[in-house]
Amino acid sequence: MGHNRYQLIYMLTVLFILSGCMANDADVLVEPAPANQTDPTTSLWLVDWEDHLSTKDLTTINTPIDQLLLFTVYFDANNDLYLTDEGLALIEQVKMKHNESTHYLTFVNDQFLTDGSTIQKSPALLEALLASETTIEQHIEAIVTLISTHDVLNVEIDYEQIPNHLIDPFLTFITQLNQRLTAISADLRVVLEPSFPIEDVSLPEDVTFIVMTYNLHGFHGGPGPKTDYQLLNQLTEAYKPYGRQIGYALSNGGFFFSDQDTIVALTEAEIVSLIETNQLVPTRDPKSDANYVSLSLNGETGILWYADAVTLTNWSTFISNHSTPADISIWRAGGISDYTRTFFDTYNTRTE
């Protein structure tokens, strides 16, 4: 089954290259994974600020995605769990129309304040949640109450910018949360940043951890791809001892880096439109298989770096060649192009 699947991925990639799918003759093909490789599952994040586009993307993917990750649960100014109206609507839409997939609620340490502002990835919030055994227990019970209320029992924890002194309390929280969820037949997965100090800790058993492979370039740095093969190699090597306890997250879309230091995030669909409208010919970077092209956007000149279906195919194949991933997760729905929809259709094909 695994061998047939990677043959399909190989064939899809060749078709993309031959058809000039936003690329050129410099496209590089990563060799398919070995025939005895166990198939990873696939996951896709759906976000509340693009709730309609997210669910629209799902309707155009012909084969079920294994896990749908509903990026919807935040915190308010009192450190209590909080969902937006759009998030609530997204949860109900997915429950009604996409029961062929397993659903997870993603909990994020973003905080919505009373003045309307938002603190993204708040370390101070984590200080409060992980302060003691009592606060950890209270947080776990709040999570269990919320997922029971919304009838989505599976949990994904995406807490980022964890201070070093909170790593151990965080792993204690994960261990105890997993035990609590197991007792009610619920599953847990945990997102880890590329900078997570994996060399200094031991991960809890029986929990799936999803390693973010992107953020190499973006709002925090200069022009470049979201990831490259050097970073992918570093991460797969670092997490190799944990085997199929580990999955990896890839990101579609890209960033426009202007010569005036403006950085704009763009979805893949927006990028496809820009490329086609301006009749641009991107170059594929051999160190990452991401594309880049010079253009003008909003009156500013600069360079656009982005991932397309060939990029995602090659990244996922590289990961499967260098590890035994439990899952390949894609950030995110809401602006996926027709090309990447086909990627999902092919990647999710199962043969008896």
Q: What CATH number is attached to the domain comprising 137? A: 3.20.20.80
Residue 29 falls inside a structural domain: no
Per cent of the chain over pLDDT 70 is 88
Q: Is the pLDDT of residue 63 over 90?
A: no
**What pLDDT does 286 receive?**
97
Centroid of chain to Cα 71? 10
Residue 10 falls inside a structural domain: no
Q: Is the pLDDT of residue 23 over 60?
A: no
What pLDDT digit, counting tens, does each position of 138-189 carry?
A: 999 999 999 999 999 999 999 999 999 999 999 999 999 999 999 999 999 9
- DSSP codes joined into one string, 271-300: HHHHHHHTT---EE-TTT--EEEEEEETTE
**What pLDDT does 27 receive?**
52
Q: Is the pLDDT of residue 315 over 70?
A: yes
Give me the domain span that covers residue 189.
Answer: 38-253+312-347
Q: Is the pLDDT of residue 129 over 80?
A: yes
- Orientation angle between helical segments 85-97 and 51-59, nearest 10 degrees: 20
Q: Within 13 Å, how many C-alpha atoms sit on residue 331's CB side?
A: 20
Q: Is the pLDDT of residue 31 over 70?
A: no
**What tokens were used for 87?**
């998030």
Q: Is the pLDDT of residue 217 over 80?
A: yes
> Mean of the pLDDT values across residues 22-51?
67
Name the more confident of 289 and 339.
289
**What pLDDT does 167 receive?**
98
CB 40 within 8 A of CB 247: yes
**What pLDDT does 123 receive?**
98
Closest CA to 67 of 262, 278, 286, 326: 326
Residue 86 falls inside a structural domain: yes
pLDDT classification of 5: cutoffs 50, 70, 90: very low
User: Which of these ranges, 19-28, 116-125, 233-242, has the smallest mean pLDDT?
Assistant: 19-28
> Mean of the pLDDT values across residues 193-222?
95
CB 140 within 8 A of CB 151: no
Residue 322 falls inside a structural domain: yes
**What pLDDT does 342 receive?**
79
Residue 177 falls inside a structural domain: yes
Residue 278 falls inside a structural domain: no
Q: Distance between CA 14 and CA 189 in Å, rounded?
A: 33
Beta bridge partners of 250: 330
Please identify which residue in the block is written with the tokens 């390949």: 328
Q: Is the pLDDT of residue 62 over 90?
A: no
pLDDT classification of 71: cutoffs 50, 70, 90: very high
Q: Is the pLDDT of residue 247 over 80?
A: yes
Residue 293 falls inside a structural domain: no
The residues, any chain, with a CB within 8 Å of residue 255's CB and separated by 6 or more, are 217, 218, 219, 223, 226, 263, 264, 265, 266, 304, 305, 306
**What pLDDT does 291 receive?**
98
What pLDDT digit, counting tens, does each position of 74-87 carry?
A: 999 999 999 999 99
Domain count, the chain: 1
Residue 16 falls inside a structural domain: no
> Mean of the pLDDT values across residues 211-220?
94
